[in-house]
Amino acid sequence: MTTPIAGTGVASRPRVVALGGGHGLHVMLSALCRLDADLTAVVTVADDGGSSGRLRREVPGVVPPGDLRMALAALAAPGPQGQLWAETFQHRFAGEGALAGHPVGNIVLVGLTQVLGDTVAALDAMGAILGARGRVLPMSGDPLDIVAQVEGLEDDSAVVRRIRGQVAVAATPGRVRTIALEPADARGCPEAIAAIADADVVILGPGSWFTSVLPHLMLPEIANALICTAAHRLVTLNLAPQPGETEGFSPEQHLDVLSAHAPDFRIDTVLADASAVPLPGRLTAAAGRIGAQLDLAKIAFPGTARHDPVALAAALRPVLVRALAGRRVGPGDHGEGAAVLSGPPDRTSASTR
């Protein structure tokens, strides 16, 4: 059930763009589906492992479909038909043949792309089958590779090595210093750029910091769209450091890394789980240094490092309220004055500035 949006005039749905990949984007979209918003997911296309990696090698030029499939599944209609298709697309072929291990949706998406000649058209077609409650777009129409500068892999800890590939970067035992994308001149998806420009709220995270979150800020056209948009910018922190990528990172170090990679990217709100922040004062100060407000909320299943989509939706509600309240109403808007979200009380436990 979605939480509707009401205003002083005619009802208005906020335009929300969530960027990321993998399980982090899946849980964010699952939460956003509980709010009455116009949703667009912009998904990384640098995966080179598992089924996606196999398909990249076997079908040159195809964007890795795995994260795109997961985003579509999260947006599937809640009824029996939508959920049947979501379960089917997520199902992995069993056995020992060439299809073993491939999710059905990966194969369908690659096939649709070849039939229609366009990844965005293929995603829209799959979305129609699922009755998707939003649109899924790739951040680029070309498959990309992540390249990282990593230290701590040699006896001399100061030696920096170049590591290529999402899987290798995510699994490195060293410390990632910086990442970049190749090809460096890859174009951003025009539909994704337009969605970011038109958004009321853009959301980065949660997700693998170096391989799902930061890549959006490394693709020049997407980064420029994120820097120039008038949307409210929300960064959602992870519940725990990720082995390999961010092991040993404090919550505030995640913000420092993001700011170092994209110093021109302004953040309005940082959302974090109250139980995952041992020193709230430090995170408040780190958010303040980049001009952001810190929202602390209980957004995890108790005692786990897994997000609770229901709790996450409740924590997102006040962010959307702030974004809509500050929006200027122009000729193209449907509401009058500040819009607010109605629904059950939010579960935000603390909000600091």
Residue 208 lies in a domain: yes
Spatial separation of the C-alpha atoms in residues 208 and 253, rounded to whole Å: 14
Mean pLDDT of 143-147: 97
What's the pLDDT at 325? 87
Same domain for 158 and 192, yes or no, is no
Residue 133 lies in a domain: no
192-213 per-position pLDDT tens digit: 999 999 999 999 999 999 999 9
Supply the pTM of this predicted model. 0.90
Q: What are the distances in angstroms from CA 255 to CA 41, 128, 140, 223, 235?
A: 22, 37, 25, 16, 9
Residue 317 lies in a domain: yes
Same domain for 194 and 298, yes or no, is yes
Q: Is the pLDDT of residue 27 over 60?
A: yes
Residue 68 lies in a domain: no
Same domain for 156 and 264, yes or no, is no
Q: Is the pLDDT of residue 344 over 80?
A: no
User: What order of strands is seen across the sheet that includes strand 175-182?
Assistant: 160-164, 145-151, 175-182
Which one has a higher pLDDT value, 3 or 201? 201
Same domain for 155 and 193, yes or no, is no
Percentage of the residues of the chain whose pLDDT score is greater than 70: 90
Instruction: Please state the domain count of the chain.
Output: 2
Same domain for 232 and 342, yes or no, is yes
Q: Is the pLDDT of residue 305 over 60?
A: yes
What's the pLDDT at 340? 40
Residue 346 lies in a domain: yes
Residue 226 lies in a domain: yes
Residue 137 lies in a domain: no
Spatial separation of the C-alpha atoms in residues 50 and 40, rounded to whole Å: 26
Q: Which domain holds residue 259?
A: 1-45+188-353
Same domain for 285 and 341, yes or no, is yes
Same domain for 204 and 237, yes or no, is yes
Same domain for 203 and 236, yes or no, is yes
74-118 per-position pLDDT tens digit: 999 999 999 999 999 999 999 999 999 999 999 999 999 999 999
Q: Domain holding 196: CATH number?
A: 3.40.50.10680
Confidence of residue 142 (pLDDT cuts 50, 70, 90): very high
Q: Is the pLDDT of residue 350 over 60?
A: no
Q: What are the distances in angstroms from CA 191 to CA 43, 188, 209, 225?
A: 12, 9, 24, 11
Same domain for 166 and 231, yes or no, is no
Confidence of residue 351 (pLDDT cuts 50, 70, 90): very low
Same domain for 277 and 166, yes or no, is no
Same domain for 217 and 251, yes or no, is yes
Which one has a higher pLDDT value, 42 or 247? 42
Same domain for 244 and 342, yes or no, is yes
Mean pLDDT of 313-327: 91
Residue 112 lies in a domain: no
